[in-house]
Structure 1
């Protein structure tokens, strides 16, 4: 699901790769104690086909779980817009000075920047020369002043701007426009992930200078700066059509049209079989099996940056007690959940033990496994420490019985099945858990408003995991406020630690600070990581240059059909 992502804010994923159906792995199955290594998956799931070998024209039909209208904003730098489906839908109409490489590095995208240089380390200064052919969809030049206004909006200095994260931008002390197509920006203190700022799309100055306009894109996307434009919007039918940008200055796209239709997860395999869509991102074994029955279908997979987790509402009793949160963390059988989630898709699984890095990334440690391993007896002791007493198979305290709930989006099978295993795990220590289904369009709205106890969804990471993870844990967030800390609690030590990590240019020292951050998070347990999962997409066999990848974005000018 990581086609393209905001660089400085992790992105919420409605449905993570799903658990196998109960018939394949019963929720009360015996937990496995044998750890397995994650399979070595490719960084890019598709085989590159030269554009010259593709037909000119054709329509690519794709599905998403929600639109920017559903989520509340199409501006991906807002709290509501920083959502994977919203980002994915707009990938063909956006571009940035830096683009991701196959192995997770970055390089200038010549369509947007001809040169990017770190010209000084003290003070840390970056010089950017823009492509003078780049324009907005109406033909207006894309200039340094657009970037200046975007940087200012994302700095967090004006609290009237609704932003998902100010990380990095809040460290920019000066921004100098040298010409229409060249600018420099300087940091107040060293900022290790400086390249991340240039993987965030610019917004036109007229919009980025006005907080009301910035937040006003509730029913349509911002102006295009990519090879496609959003040419038709049907918010009632939830069908969105993109066609080639007549003012695009780069390579001509092969496709005539891209359509995005909002289809719930449980219906996407059928839509694929009916030729309503050309690809389906697999979130559960039912979808995987059904989609592969289509004639000519093929499965593509790659490593991923997304992990499933359980977020606890730290303001909601009894989860406002850290010992209750720790008890749940030690009672949830994460290893069984990992196995039943990924093995039916042909991929070995591993649990997720780090809150910043993915398994395989430099810096990853199994902090969760070391600090709070699966241990039902320890979980019960944590509840006793919190003042709960177990009698007759029930935990009580001050006349109240310990009960919990998990909010789930209707029609998203992976969330429901994962919630069922959480329910089965906690039943083993006498905690009753009910499932609280809500319309999928209301799911994140309720979470952000604090109208939930536990929630299990995915977080999609970025190329810059240390800085992009900060907003999930720090600062403390109020329900209904701006930000991504949906647990609504924090540990104040994190503020100083993240400041150190974001300014440390020595990578080995930086990783040591990251480990301290992990240990602090384990200490107050706002979120329980469960397992990372691969990207799996089933596509029509004649679709080329589209599919899953770990880091690299799809080149939308090269997506097309071989016949």
Structure 2
């Protein structure tokens, strides 16, 4: 739970009745136009409330939601039937670092922790290609809401074959221990969150040890999110075991794999077949997780040190150049956007926002990953031999990159200024700039809570309005920020703030794309080192497409735009520079400040030391529960600080909180999704977070690797991963 010092001025008021009503009217009109008869969906919603066979799978039952379009970029995993997968072999999967803990419910759990948990521990509900929860029959015979009033009751019937690594059965006692550890009432357990578990009144044995009855004190729509992963009672039964034991020792396995060996010097964690596994036998004998820096992964794949690895776009391009990738289109200046364009952030640790981008460089320059392109974008001769036999799997992650606006104080505390920023940023152009060179669908994301293809996804961005620089400038004027008015004595309206070479006399290259800026490379110097907390004002006051600066009460409108400065973040900074030029076109100047990657989130975003920032958030199938702390209204604490949870933009409203609360307790799927959509429209209306684009998922793999790659919205099925016969 993050705290910040009280803002120097009151937070911006919640949107008035007009803004809120406009958001609701806009969404209601769209919904009325879009909806078809929902007989199938209604039947499904009714089934959720009754212990019917359909519910036992908790997997949907047709109707409009099932007929809706799937993800714009489906998973790309080289799907092969199990019979065609070799029943042997070792696959090495590159990861960022070995897990610092095997406890997925601790604050420092990361992506490696989640990967081990997925292969080793019970996952009661997995996700299908559209990100919908599906009952896993290896663990559950059924799972049903058997009662909704006066209290919600869920009954789980466990697979009688399910056992832990020591041979003991998985029972209701394990469920009860996990609830007690995570409900937030015992300070001995250092749990990172208790969402959902804090609503449970009791967990008890049902008809036998293999039946679990969970009674809720407050209804929970996202109940399938609970008890995944599930840990044994031996781990969850005491604070010492919960906090410390899983940092050193892996938990007892109850999945297709078990942890067999760890070598910290070599950076490897070996998972082997679990001899007590009762489900489909794992095709691989061993699955090795190897820590490989992202700038060394192409070499690791080419040399055989890795068989599967998430890649940066630059690294993916290296492989695709050799493996006959589709011909890239040139940008307006004749260069390939695939080589100079920005890239989305890399995958963050589980539960944490992403902070860095993926490296790329112009042809002929050494890339940050150590590769080099010769002359006219051709791969070096050595690459042609080394990279044969590899393929790039491509999809879109259930995560997005956003422009965050800190509304705690300063100009952005005024909702009109935030809405002006939103109307000036061309999200579609940015999505195309990032995704088109990769051959991925390039639509801007229209929701803060879901991604395209998930049930309930709807584009609610019209609640803030479409791109319109003239409307943006009118909003600034209405907020009191006027062109060239109120300048401090001795300064001219087009004053650059004392930054050399950025005034009207500046005759750098004219912008070639009409967005108020010039060549990306010519603006590289605009991003200043942020070690001392100072940057260089990015003021294109004299450039074509730039509007005169805005002033209010003698103060110039300049926003501090904080970005990470690591070698892998150049593309993210390139996106930031494009945004800066778009804002420059409405008279908003930006100060681009590059800071160390390690402190980007901790020292700047969490502490509120920014006006604008680019970072990413994951989405998931349970937005009513998981997304609430990201958009919850900050609350004052007894010591005078502000409790912001994960809402780093520091703006929220009572209406948004109520909609999340209602959605989280609504057991009718359709009604809950409607409430989530209404909450999203309100989030757009306050204009503190602007989703830009869904992040690309690029995975390099040996061509013989099957049932693995870019999983998109789906969960991996570890027992099916392997090599083609």
| TM value normalised by structure 2 | 0.64
Note the C-alpha offset of 1:75. Answer: 2.9
Structure 1: tracts of 5 or more residues without a match:
1-37
Matched with 1:338 is 431
Pair 1:412–1:482, CA change in 2 (3 A): farther
Note the C-alpha offset of 1:525. Answer: 3.0
Pair 1:215–1:486, CA change in 2 (3 A): farther
The answer on 1:365 being equivalent to 2:527 is no
Pair 1:116–1:430, CA change in 2 (3 A): closer
Taking the aligned partners of 1:281 and 1:548, their CA distance within structure 2 comes to 8
Matched with 1:277 is 306
Taking the aligned partners of 2:644 and 2:253, their CA distance within structure 1 comes to 25
Structure 2: tracts of 5 or more residues without a match:
1-68, 323-386, 484-492, 495-540, 542-548
Correspondence for 1:465 among 623, 633, 641: 623
Matched with 2:139 is 112
Note the C-alpha offset of 1:185. Answer: 0.7
The answer on 1:194 being equivalent to 2:350 is no
Pair 1:343–1:221, CA change in 2 (3 A): farther
CA contact (8 A) 2:297 2:311 kept: no
Within a 5 Å distance, the mapping from 1:32-431 to structure 2 comes to 41=72, 43-69=74-100, 74-81=102-109, 83-84=110-111, 86-122=113-149, 123-158=151-186, 161-178=189-206, 179-198=208-227, 200-211=228-239, 213-216=241-244, 217=246, 222-235=251-264, 238-284=267-313, 286-292=314-320, 293=322, 294-302=387-395, 304-315=397-408, 317=410, 319-384=412-477, 387-388=480-481, 390=483, 391-392=493-494, 393=541, 394-395=549-550, 401=556, 402-408=558-564, 410-413=566-569, 414-428=571-585, 429-431=587-589
CA contact (8 A) 1:419 1:435 kept: no
Pair 1:362–1:226, CA change in 2 (3 A): closer
Note the C-alpha offset of 1:527. Answer: 1.8
Over 6 Å off, 4+ runs: 477-482
Higher RCO (C-alpha under 8 Å, 6+ residues apart): 1
Taking the aligned partners of 1:481 and 1:274, their CA distance within structure 2 comes to 49
Note the C-alpha offset of 1:289. Answer: 1.4
Taking the aligned partners of 2:89 and 2:590, their CA distance within structure 1 comes to 52
Pair 1:442–1:561, CA change in 2 (3 A): farther
Taking the aligned partners of 2:626 and 2:243, their CA distance within structure 1 comes to 22
The answer on 1:517 being equivalent to 2:517 is no
CA contact (8 A) 1:333 1:425 kept: yes
Note the C-alpha offset of 1:409. Answer: 6.4
More deviation, 342-351/322-331:
322-331
Taking the aligned partners of 1:317 and 1:212, their CA distance within structure 2 comes to 45
Taking the aligned partners of 1:151 and 1:338, their CA distance within structure 2 comes to 42
Taking the aligned partners of 1:481 and 1:241, their CA distance within structure 2 comes to 41
2:226 partner SS:
helix
More deviation, 44-53/118-127:
44-53
CA contact (8 A) 1:114 1:130 kept: yes
Taking the aligned partners of 1:302 and 1:432, their CA distance within structure 2 comes to 33
Correspondence for 2:707 among 525, 535, 545: 545
Matched with 2:487 is none
Note the C-alpha offset of 1:98. Answer: 2.2
Taking the aligned partners of 1:399 and 1:262, their CA distance within structure 2 comes to 54
Taking the aligned partners of 2:251 and 2:604, their CA distance within structure 1 comes to 26
Matched with 2:335 is none
Taking the aligned partners of 2:402 and 2:581, their CA distance within structure 1 comes to 16
The answer on 1:450 being equivalent to 2:626 is no
Note the C-alpha offset of 1:533. Answer: 4.1
1:344-382 CA-partner distances (Å, limit 9, x unpaired): 111231111222222344433332234232233343444
Pair 1:55–1:277, CA change in 2 (3 A): same
Taking the aligned partners of 2:98 and 2:654, their CA distance within structure 1 comes to 35
Matched with 1:557 is 719
1:455-478 CA-partner distances (Å, limit 9, x unpaired): 423322222333332232125379
Taking the aligned partners of 2:407 and 2:619, their CA distance within structure 1 comes to 23
Pair 1:349–1:192, CA change in 2 (3 A): same
More deviation, 107-116/386-395:
386-395
Taking the aligned partners of 1:537 and 1:127, their CA distance within structure 2 comes to 39
Note the C-alpha offset of 1:79. Answer: 4.0
CA contact (8 A) 2:634 2:643 kept: no
2:719 partner SS:
coil
Taking the aligned partners of 1:63 and 1:507, their CA distance within structure 2 comes to 38
Taking the aligned partners of 1:347 and 1:127, their CA distance within structure 2 comes to 42
Taking the aligned partners of 2:615 and 2:660, their CA distance within structure 1 comes to 24
Note the C-alpha offset of 1:220. Answer: 6.5
* Greater gyration radius: 2
Aligned residues: 519
Note the C-alpha offset of 1:39. Answer: 9.6
CA contact (8 A) 1:330 1:372 kept: yes
Taking the aligned partners of 1:266 and 1:365, their CA distance within structure 2 comes to 37
Taking the aligned partners of 1:388 and 1:516, their CA distance within structure 2 comes to 31
Note the C-alpha offset of 1:274. Answer: 3.3
CA contact (8 A) 2:70 2:454 kept: no
Taking the aligned partners of 1:323 and 1:213, their CA distance within structure 2 comes to 51
